[in-house]
């Protein structure tokens, strides 16, 4: 028997009360800073999004809501080659999944930088899930 899966709906604009009550963006006590911005198809910051990353090698997980500039920030293990990242936002009816290659990420003042673009010619590569 196969049951039909429950459909997705947007996280909406008020998710911080349910998802961001406690800071969860430091996967390790000491590591390297991973920063980036969540941007829409007009390159405008998405200030009501949430990014979840998962370091499959260590099982460590983190979550960060975006700020007014669309920025997110994590602390990750320095030797992790990549993390998987789910993106949620108001206006996004289903989450999107990407992989952040830390080894390839741009260096910016000691931090790794990876911007996520939801739409357009420079859209981030999202996986079919």
- Binding residues (CB under 8 A) for other proteins: these are 1-19, 21-22, 24, 40-42, 44, 46, 48, 52, 54, 56, 59-61, 84, 86, 88-97, 99, 118-120, 123, 125-129
| Smaller CB separation from other proteins, 14 or 108 | 14
Least distance to other proteins, CB of residue 44, Å: 7
Least distance to other proteins, CB of residue 110, Å: 27
From residue 106, alpha-carbon distances to 80, 90, 103 in Å are 15, 27, 9
| Smaller CB separation from other proteins, 17 or 29 | 17
CA of residue 54 relative to chain centroid, distance: 9
From residue 109, alpha-carbon distances to 33, 35, 106, 112 in Å are 10, 11, 10, 8
């Amino acid at each position: 028997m196969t049951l039909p899966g429950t459909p997705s709906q947007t996280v909406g604009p008020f998710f911080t009360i349910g998802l961001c009550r406690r800071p969860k963006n430091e996967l390790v006590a000491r590591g390297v800073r991973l920063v980036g911005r969540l941007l829409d198809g007009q390159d405008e910051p998405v200030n009501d999004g949430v990014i979840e990353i998962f370091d499959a090698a260590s099982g460590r997980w983190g979550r960060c809501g975006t700020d007014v500039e669309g920025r997110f920030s994590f602390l990750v293990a320095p030797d992790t080659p990549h993390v998987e990242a789910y993106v949620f936002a108001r206006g996004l009816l289903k989450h999107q999944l990407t992989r952040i290659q830390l080894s390839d990420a741009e260096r910016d003042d000691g931090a790794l930088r990876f911007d996520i673009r939801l739409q357009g010619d420079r859209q981030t590569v999202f996986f079919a899930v």
